[in-house]
């Protein structure tokens, strides 16, 4: 609520270099609003950059000229990308603590497979190459020069040292790593590779983390990951990191028509969900399923657990990436189309409905469900018949003319006349 309070604290040392990193590398991924929120929170820190005064969210709304819901979406993006942690204490007026973290260095950023791939996908190949060049260290020809740098003991004498206590809690530059919930059991994956082909003991913690990130960004299952790893093992029976990255990218592009993946919401954003405290009615349970299931898993569920076809996955990508529909709304759309279109996902039919929902700004599961209900009722309404045109009858229409019947003799003559034509 606007009256809820917050304070800002910093877990790091922020510099002008961080400003450049956030604007050029992070902003293409999370958007300008999220980065503006980071800078706004940064500005509330005191001179020592440790702790801010207590403020209300109403002041933040006024400062940024944004709705509270927009600020909340921006906050979740900062949390997801590792720039912010949020702590919450419930009271009659709720209290929040926003803890800022430093962005990754340019080297760390470009070696992170998730951030690196997403940035390239969002800005395009040419702009990406310019960004890489911008952060590259220029190579000077120093082979003709002699290194004459002094060592510490060449200048200073040895003195007694003061031992710092670990509890002194001095500030240092701290960065958050991306937190992922992986569906891959890496130990099981390694057990599927022959021991004489691969040294499991050579896999470091950093390599494990790298494999987890690749499996997340490319959505690989364990079977696919085993094939990729086996093709990435060098002559020393160790995983070649560069080769692993290349293999993963090539397989994904081959299976997805040359496209590179982009990060999208895995399921419905929290800000667009129905409150979990609402009664668990039949409708509420259905909404919860739409909101908490990814479109990929929802479609697989409709197929009875079978992997969706490539064409169907391209439809999902179109709805989520091109039209920017939220995952929960996509689930409702898929469910509706399958019901009214005899279990067929016809792209033209889906695009027609999706286009209408975009124009009407359908952003939540409940709005999408109400739209489906309204459309179903409209189709069931009987079509109004056009009123019949009333034509005025002429006066003679209802008059019974006087008929003079023929005599028996005349009828006999007529029958004799007609027999000539038999």
* Average pLDDT of span 276-297: 74
User: Candidates 2.30.30, 1.10.287, 1.10.10, 1.10.3470; correct CATH number of 5-104?
Assistant: 1.10.10
Distance CA 104, CA 108 (A): 6
* Average pLDDT of span 330-338: 89
- pLDDT-based confidence at residue 263 (cuts at 50, 70, 90): very low
* Average pLDDT of span 356-375: 86
Tokens coding 291: 């909101």
CA distances from 284 to 90, 273, 275, 384 (A): 25, 11, 10, 36
- pLDDT-based confidence at residue 417 (cuts at 50, 70, 90): low
User: What pLDDT sits at residue 348?
Assistant: 86
- pLDDT-based confidence at residue 265 (cuts at 50, 70, 90): very low
**Which residue carries 């160790």 as its tokens?**
238
Closest C-alpha among 173, 169, 168 to residue 10: 173
Tokens coding 346: 């016809």
- C-beta of residue 56 within 8 angstroms of C-beta of residue 4: yes
User: What pLDDT sits at residue 264?
Assistant: 42
**Which residue carries 């952060």 as its tokens?**
135
| Extents of the domains making up the chain | 5-104, 186-255, 270-380
Crossing angle, helix 310-317 and helix 347-359, to 10 degrees?
A: 10
Count the neighbouring beta carbons within 10 Å of the beta carbon of residue 196: 7
CA contacts within 13 A on the Cβ side of 260: 17
DSSP 261-290: P----SS--GGGSPPTTS---HHHHHHHHH
- Give the distance from CA 200 to its chain's centroid: 34
User: What pLDDT sits at residue 197?
Assistant: 77
User: What pLDDT sits at residue 258?
Assistant: 58
- C-beta of residue 178 within 8 angstroms of C-beta of residue 213: yes
pLDDT tens across 183-229, in order? 777 788 888 887 777 788 888 888 887 787 777 767 777 888 888 88
What is the average pLDDT value for the chain, to the nearest integer? Answer: 76
pLDDT tens across 101-139, in order? 888 888 888 888 778 888 888 888 888 888 888 877 777
User: What pLDDT sits at residue 406?
Assistant: 59
Among 43-57, 165-179, 219-233, 303-317, the minimum mean pLDDT is found in 165-179
296: Cβ–Cβ under 8 A, 6 or more apart, which residues? 219, 308, 313, 316
Tokens coding 63: 């400062």
- C-beta of residue 242 within 8 angstroms of C-beta of residue 207: no
At residue 34, does pLDDT exceed 70?
yes
At residue 160, does pLDDT exceed 60?
no
Closest C-alpha among 234, 238, 259, 239 to residue 249: 259
């Amino acid at each position: 609520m606007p009256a809820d309070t917050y304070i800002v604290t910093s877990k790091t040392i922020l510099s002008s270099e961080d400003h450049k990193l956030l604007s050029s590398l992070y902003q293409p991924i999370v958007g300008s609003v999220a980065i503006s929120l980071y800078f706004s929170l940064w500005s509330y820190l005191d001179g020592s950059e440790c702790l801010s005064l207590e403020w209300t969210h109403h002041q933040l709304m006024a400062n940024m000229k944004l709705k509270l819901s927009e600020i909340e979406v921006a906050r979740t993006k900062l949390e997801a990308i590792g720039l912010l942690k949020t702590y919450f204490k419930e009271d009659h007026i709720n209290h929040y603590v926003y803890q800022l973290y430093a962005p990754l260095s340019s080297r760390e950023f470009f070696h992170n497979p998730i951030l690196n791939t997403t940035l390239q996908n969002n800005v395009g190949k040419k702009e990406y190459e310019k960004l890489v060049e911008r952060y590259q260290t220029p190579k000077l020809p120093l082979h003709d020069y002699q290194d004459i740098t002094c060592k510490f003991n060449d200048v200073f004498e040895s003195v007694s040292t003061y031992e710092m206590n670990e509890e002194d809690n001095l500030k240092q530059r701290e960065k958050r790593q991306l937190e992922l919930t992986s569906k891959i059991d890496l130990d099981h994956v390694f057990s599927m590779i022959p021991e004489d082909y691969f040294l499991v003991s050579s896999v470091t913690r950093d390599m494990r983390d790298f494999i987890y990130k690749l499996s997340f960004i490319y959505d690989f299952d364990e079977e696919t990951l085993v094939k990729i790893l086996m093709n990435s093992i060098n002559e020393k029976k160790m995983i070649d990191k560069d080769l692993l990255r290349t293999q993963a990218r090539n397989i994904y592009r081959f299976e997805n028509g040359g496209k590179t993946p982009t990060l999208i919401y895995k399921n419905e954003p929290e800000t667009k969900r129905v409150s979990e405290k609402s009664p668990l009615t039949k409708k509420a349970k259905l909404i919860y399923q739409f909101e908490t299931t990814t479109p990929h898993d929802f479609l697989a569920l409709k197929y009875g657990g079978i992997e969706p076809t490539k064409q169907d996955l391209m439809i999902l990508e179109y709805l989520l990436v091109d039209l920017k529909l939220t995952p929960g709304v996509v689930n409702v759309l898929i469910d509706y189309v399958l019901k009214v279109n005899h279990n067929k996902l016809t792209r033209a039919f889906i695009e027609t409905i999706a286009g209408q929902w975009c124009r009407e700004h359908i952003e939540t599961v409940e709005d999408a469900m109400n739209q489906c209900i309204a459309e179903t009722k409209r189709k069931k309404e009987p079509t109004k018949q056009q009123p019949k045109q009333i034509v005025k009858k002429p006066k003679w229409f209802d008059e019974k003319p006087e008929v003079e019947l023929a005599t028996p003799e005349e009828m006999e003559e007529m029958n004799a006349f007609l027999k000539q034509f038999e």
